[in-house]
Amino acid sequence: MSGARLDRMIWLALPAVAYLAVVYALPLLWLLGRSVTGPDGFTIAQFTAFFADPFSWRVMGNTLRIAFWVTLLSLVIGYPVAIAMARARGLMQVMLLVAMILPLSIGVVVKAFAWQIVLRRDGVISQGLVASGIWAEPQRLLFTEAGLIVGATNVFLPFMILPIYSVVKLIDPRLTEAGATLGASPFYRFRKILLPLTLPGIVSGSAFVFSMAVSMFVIPSLLIGDRFQTLATLTGRSYLLMRNEALGSTTAVILLVIAVSIVVLSTWLSKRVGRSL
């Protein structure tokens, strides 16, 4: 690539780089600086105090547990849907794609309020479980961990389906057909052919969903309330209610470290999976 062409590309990228630096990099640097600054200058006392408090570990446990179950449930539901979308043809595939993409145009707040109605004692889920005989009487799922997991899975499900769908779409269906002609069972073809080839999509989708579930703020606030704290909700409460910038910046940095770790781990897994295929 010539030097003149490289210079033009740099000038074209400069506005985006400047925007990201102002909107993202500077606030992150301020958070990092605030988390390690005390009355006497540099200090890690805020992190030490945070990790010394059993409540902080409970908050981190809540955050990681909810994110894990949301990711797992999204994968269990989204994997077969992604395969069905990739194997569908014509109008059916278009309808499935629209059904996945259209909910992304609806705000998270609207979805969370809708799930408040669904998860009530007289909501659709409770009434359906009573009608099927699973529950003897209506029960409330709102303000419970199960309700939070179900509601968050609904919001983040497209981010699991679309990466897997994009990978499955590239797989030649004749590979599984060839396995069938050689006498392989459906489960064997899935385990030895389809699953290994779709691992990059699974890794990418899981990283997307887990990172968003770890940092979600609005959904827990509306579906489970303040009695169940996560790192994101504790950060919000620290700034908005308690006016404790030290605690807020500390929890925000910890949340950032978790998110960056997820990205690094998913990138590493994707490369290993790519080399093994």
Interval 185-233: pLDDT, tens:
888 888 888 888 899 899 999 999 999 999 999 999 999 988 899 999 9
Residue 220, number of CB atoms within 10 A of its CB: 25
Task: Note whether 238 and 244 are within 8 A (CB).
Answer: yes
Q: In whole angstroms, give the CA distance from residue 159 to residue 100.
A: 9
pLDDT attached to residue 216: 94
Task: State both tokens at 67.
Answer: 């994110």
Question: What are the φ/ψ torsions at residue 102 (nearest 5 degrees)?
Answer: -60, -40
Q: Which domains does the chain have, with CATH numbers?
A: 55-276 (1.10.3720.10)
What does the angle CA 255 – CA 260 – CA 266 come to, to the nearest 5 degrees?
Answer: 130
Q: In whole angstroms, give the CA distance from residue 92 to residue 100.
A: 13
Q: In whole angstroms, give the CA distance from residue 202 to residue 200.
A: 5
pLDDT attached to residue 124: 86
pTM: 0.89
Find how far residue 223's CA is from the centre of its chain: 17
Question: What are the φ/ψ torsions at residue 42 (nearest 5 degrees)?
Answer: -60, 135
Classified as helix, coil or strand, 4 is helix
Task: Note whether 213 and 71 are within 8 A (CB).
Answer: yes
Q: Which regions of the chain are under pLDDT 70?
A: 1-7, 273-277
pLDDT attached to residue 273: 67
Q: In whole angstroms, give the CA distance from residue 226 to residue 238.
A: 12
Residue 64, number of CB atoms within 10 A of its CB: 16
pLDDT attached to residue 55: 94
Q: In whole angstroms, give the CA distance from residue 263 to residue 265.
A: 6
pLDDT attached to residue 271: 76
